[in-house]
Amino acid sequence: MGRKAGGLYINPKKFGGVVKPFMVEMVAFLNCLALNKQSDDKCMRQKELLVTCSQVQKGRPKNAAKTINYHLQRLGRDKFH
């Protein structure tokens, strides 16, 4: 099912397949913490991978044309003019 924002129908399934930048590293780190009773001394490798991946993603500009908020704002502007 979709959601309505005013008179606009939004299909959430369309945006569900968006790639998560460092999900694998985050899950690996959280699993390591869970296995080692929240001791991050034993999870240094996973922590370094997560930090490295997040720093790489920080430098990339976000493509505003692909976000749902961009399209909602664009459609909202056209509606009132």
Domain residue spans in the chain?
A: 20-56
Strands (E) in the chain, as ranges, are 3-5, 8-10
Distance of alpha carbon 81 from alpha carbon 49, whole angstroms: 48
Mean pLDDT of 61-71: 71
pLDDT of amino acid 6:
62
* Per-residue pLDDT at 16 exceeds 70: no
pLDDT of amino acid 45:
92
Residue of 7, 46, 13 lying closest to 29 (CA atoms): 46
- Summarised one tens digit per residue, pLDDT across range 35-59 is 998 887 889 999 999 899 888 877 6
CA distances from 32 to 29, 35, 65 (A): 5, 5, 36
Distance of alpha carbon 16 from alpha carbon 72, whole angstroms: 17
- SS3 assignment, position 11: coil
